[in-house]
A = this chain, B = another copy of it.
């Protein structure tokens, strides 16, 4: 199945910025970054469970918001995208990995 992961992490504090980086890092292992805080991931039930568990370990439930959406299949007919889409480094990407 295809899911979309969206997150809002409160980056007012240093810990928040660290969480943001870690959340993005988790998502990168499961799918494709399409916006600053949106990933598209193709997963089965087991991978979804892993992903969910890892994300919940990173976010601070009192400060951040996380949403997982299941897309209507076939995906290519149910996603519309406009504007630029480049494989760029986002702010929270470390320059040195």
Contacts and interface: CB of A to CB of B under 8 A. Distances in A.
Interface of A: 4, 6-8, 34-38, 52, 55-56, 59-73, 78-85
A49 B54 CA distance: 37
Contacts of A81: 65-68
SS of A interface (majority):
strand
Contact of A6 (B6, B55, B60): B6
Of A4, A55, A64, A85, chain B has the most CB atoms within 10 Å of the CB of A4
Contacts of A4: 4, 6, 69
Contacts of A37: 35, 37
Given A8-B38, A62-B83, A69-B71, 5 more contacts: A35-B67, A64-B83, A65-B82, A68-B79, A70-B72
